[in-house]
């Protein structure tokens, strides 16, 4: 059942994005949906890098002076970069002027 959750979320976000293109008053909803898609893509890339060993967190463990990542640093290390990417994208989208109604 959880296998279908990711594609279902992407379909729902795509539907919201398409609806926001047709109705200009839903601009903020479209921006949030596009930000969620970017966040999911960034999180997938980050976890892919972590799980394949391309990205290593040894420097963080050494810097913190602990033998392993403990709370709250583990959550920050795993989810922080994607949240930063999502926040930057959201600020970028909100700074753009509204598109003219066609």
Q: Check residue 2 and give its pLDDT.
A: 73
Name the residue among 52, 54, 61, 57 with its Cα closest to residue 78: 57
Query: In this predicted model, what pLDDT tens digit does every residue of 40-90 receive, in sequence order?
Result: 999 999 999 988 988 888 887 888 788 887 888 888 888 999 999 999 999
The whole-angstrom separation of Cα 27 and Cα 97 is: 11
As a whole number, the mean pLDDT across the chain is 87
Which of the listed ranges 22-26, 30-34, 51-55 does the model predict with the highest average pLDDT? 30-34
Q: Work out the number of other CB atoms within 10 angstroms of the CB of residue 27.
A: 15
Global pTM reads: 0.82
């Amino acid at each position: 059942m959880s296998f279908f959750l990711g594609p279902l979320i992407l379909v729902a976000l795509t539907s919201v994005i398409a609806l926001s293109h047709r109705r200009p008053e839903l601009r903020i909803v479209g921006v949030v949906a596009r930000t969620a898609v970017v966040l999911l893509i960034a999180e997938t890339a980050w976890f892919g890098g972590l799980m394949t060993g391309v990205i290593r967190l040894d420097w963080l463990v050494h810097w913190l002076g602990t033998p392993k990542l403990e709370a709250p640093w583990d959550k920050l290390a795993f989810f922080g970069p994607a949240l930063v990417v999502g926040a930057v994208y959201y600020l970028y989208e909100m700074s753009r002027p509204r598109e003219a109604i066609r």
